[in-house]
Amino acid sequence: MKRVADMLRLDGRVALITGGAGHIGLACAEALAEAGARIALSDLNEERTAERAAELGRVFGVEAAGFAVDLSRSEETATLIDRVVQRFGRLDVLVNNAAFVGTSTIAGFAAPFQEQSVEAWDAAMRVNLTAPFQLAQRAQAALSAHGHTGAIINVGSIYGVVAPQWSLYEGTKMANPAAYNASKGGILHLTRYLASVMAPRVRVNCVSPGGVARGQDPRFVERYTERALLGRMSVEEDLKGAFAYLASDASAYVTGQHLLVDGGWTAV
């Protein structure tokens, strides 16, 4: 008889988390490291990524390393998987978590619809959708090399499923770009496509968070909370169980699926 606690263990396996120095990426890394996985973090800032990896190693007693990568650059994305495999000797889990949030050099992302630019749209698609495609393509051989332990977890959003509720944003300076919504809708179907093309050796699933509390305008928080069935916005720790489940043998017969961790936002 298999024990659930044993099925959730990831001892000896290697997990790569993109955007791993950020809020959700770090929560994912903590969950997988606690389960025994060796951790590869990729993010833009080399120093911060290295610091986060070192902290994971100290806290959880696992091997961890940081990789500075700009996923908007195809040539950098193309080498990431090889760098991780060279460093750790294998790859078992790929978490496509990195997301474009706008930069000082690209205007027209977090802006009203009529002011959103094609340049920002293209940049968001490059990071949010093209990079996961490219990484999955490059990782397939490594993920298939050790039985059926290979898993890809794509990170979506409630806004890949439903349209924004614009009343939440009234009177605030917050935005909800079309490129973000479209790219997250795209990641859902990319998940299904990859699940079909990578079967039976690699499982591919998607986790979609709801709104995560990060000091947003109090008016937005109040409106969001009123509509959420569980009566609050989420915190990063709410996602840890989903990541641990989909990365491990506890979900050994689960692929092509979409797990919404949204407090019931999309249920009504």
User: How do 93-96 and 14-18 pair as beta strands?
Assistant: parallel
- Given the structure tokens 């696992």, which residue do they identify? 62
b/e code 158-186 from CB counts within 10 Å (16+ = b): bbbbeeeeeebbeeeeebebebbbbbbbb
Sequence-distant (6+) residues with CB within 8 A of 263 are 210, 228, 229, 230, 231, 232, 233, 234, 238
Whether residue 224 lies in the annotated active site: no
- CA pseudo-torsion sign 17, 50, 13, 137: positive
Q: Could you tell me which of 160, 112, 105 has the C-alpha nearest to residue 132?
A: 160
Tell me whether residue 202 is exposed, middle or buried, using C-beta atoms within 10 angstroms of its C-beta: 0 to 12, 13 to 18, 19 or more: buried
Rounded distance between C-alpha atoms, residue 260 and residue 211, angstroms: 11
SS3 state at 117? coil
List C-alpha distances in Å: 227 to 162, 166, 211, 223, 260: 14, 13, 11, 7, 16
- The one catalytic residue in 180, 224, 245, 253 is 180
Supply φ then ψ for residue 153, to 5 degrees. -120, 115
Question: Active-site positions?
Answer: 180
